[in-house]
Amino acid sequence: MSVELFNTISNSSVGHYVLFAALLLGVFKLTTLVLNFSAVIFDSFILPPVNFKKYGGGARGNNGKWAVITGASDGIGKEYAFQLAAKGLNIVLVSRTESKLEVVANEIKAKYPTTQTKVVAFDASTDTPANYLTLRHAIEELAVTVLINNVGQSHSIPVPFLETEDKELRDIITINNTATLKITQTVAPIIEATVNKSNKKIKGLILTMGSFGGLLPTPYLATYSGSKAFLQAWSAALAGELKPKGIDVELIISYLVTSNMSKIKRTSATIPNPKQFVGSVLRSVGRRGGAQERYATSTPYWSHALMHFAIESTVGVYSKVANKLNLQMHQQIRTRALKKAARLSQQKKTE
């Protein structure tokens, strides 16, 4: 804006109002930014851990409440099981392979002798009514207060959408979306009944695992990205429905965590292990962390929270800049993965 134009506007009565409105808008934006960033800092570093007694923690055994955890045989799901057991909840372990679940159940009993466990073999990739009937029969007599929707699947390597294999595409949608919704339909009524029996002295809790892949549209992970974005809208809508019934619903957003799904073994400032990540989730239930702009959503791990807040406050999660950077990153990951696969294939031929 030239000096002459500025003087013209500022010397007119209308110009005074325009400049004043612009000043107010700038102050409002700056104030909002500072308050939101302060909330991130408080949520991530200052506020004390959430007391899980409000979700039925602390009793264990015959009088204890139960947590249902899907994808519980290893990684993040297994860590949820141990940390919720430590908070005084009995544990229902749900995953595909019963033998692996039995191992986890025995490990929990060895560490927490008064904790009760149940295992439910459940292949989430096969969307059959028998799955949900088996789960319902296993838990219908239990005082369930917590559901962890942890089961999920991504692509084996980044892949252009038009080259995505049909089975991989269908498995991702079935596991991440269909199974998650139907499991919630199965378990949530039992949580509601438990809350009602307690005269709402305790609350229910449903946590669903989201991802930065759903936060930012992610080229070369298009199906996975879409499936996780779907969970964002669904979970927030469900939160509105169930809050009056005494059930808290929250989507948990994470960047990378060391796990079989991510194929990452080394931790760093931005890549925690499952124990660190789950600890941050359970410590800050009900707080938004880096997801200050989203209802019923949390980005709890400190570095993920700062990353989420920085992206949202600058270029924006739906921006062309973020999309292009994501595209370039996943193109590079795909190139490295294909080279590694070719190298391993060549080694097998020479053996």
- Residue by residue, pLDDT tens for the chain (351 residues) are 555 654 555 566 666 677 778 888 888 888 999 999 999 999 999 999 999 999 999 987 778 999 999 999 999 999 999 999 999 999 999 999 999 999 999 999 999 999 999 999 999 999 999 999 999 999 999 999 999 999 999 999 999 999 999 999 999 999 999 999 999 999 999 999 999 999 989 999 999 999 999 999 999 999 999 999 999 999 999 999 999 999 999 999 999 999 887 888 899 999 999 999 999 999 999 999 999 999 999 999 999 999 999 999 999 999 999 999 999 999 999 999 999 999 998 888 876
Residue 168 C-beta-side C-alpha neighbours within 13 Å: 16
> Does residue 8 lie in a domain region?
no
Paired with 247 in beta bridges are 204
> Does residue 136 lie in a domain region?
yes
Compute the distance between CA of residue 311 and CA of residue 330 in angstroms, rounded to an integer. Answer: 18
Contact 39, 292 (CB under 8 A): yes
Q: What is the pLDDT of residue 123?
A: 95
* Distance (Å) of CA 140 to CA 159, 192, 197, 214: 41, 12, 14, 32
Residue 211 is labelled as binding a ligand = yes
> Does residue 39 lie in a domain region?
no
Q: What is the pLDDT of residue 339?
A: 95
> Does residue 97 lie in a domain region?
yes
Active site residues: 224
Compute the distance between CA of residue 139 and CA of residue 97 in angstroms, rounded to an integer. Answer: 18
Token pair recorded at residue 151: 């089961």
Token pair recorded at residue 205: 């809790």
Q: What is the pTM of this model?
A: 0.93
Token pair recorded at residue 32: 């909002």
Compute the distance between CA of residue 143 and CA of residue 191 in angstroms, rounded to an integer. Answer: 7
Q: What is the pLDDT of residue 259?
A: 87
Q: If you search the block for the tokens 């995953």, which residue do you land on?
A: 95
- Burial class (CB within 10 angstroms; exposed 0-12, middle 13-18, buried 19+) of 131: buried
Strand (E) or helix (H) holding 204: strand 204-209
Q: What is the pLDDT of residue 48?
A: 97
CB atoms inside a 10 Å sphere around CB 261: 17
Closest CA relative to residue 92, chosen from 125, 127, 130, 140:
140
> Does residue 30 lie in a domain region?
no
Q: What is the pLDDT of residue 8?
A: 56
Domain count, the chain: 1
> Does residue 3 lie in a domain region?
no
CATH number at residue 107: 3.40.50.720
Compute the distance between CA of residue 351 and CA of residue 14 in angstroms, rounded to an integer. Answer: 82
Contact 91, 84 (CB under 8 A): yes
CB atoms inside a 10 Å sphere around CB 262: 15
> Does residue 101 lie in a domain region?
yes
Q: What is the pLDDT of residue 256?
A: 95
Could you tell me what percentage of the chain is helix, strand and coil, using 3-state DSSP and rounding each to the nearest 5? 60, 10, 30
26 backbone dihedrals φ, ψ, rounded to 5°? -65, -45
Q: What is the pLDDT of residue 14?
A: 67
- Domain extent, residue 172, equals 46-334
> Does residue 344 lie in a domain region?
no
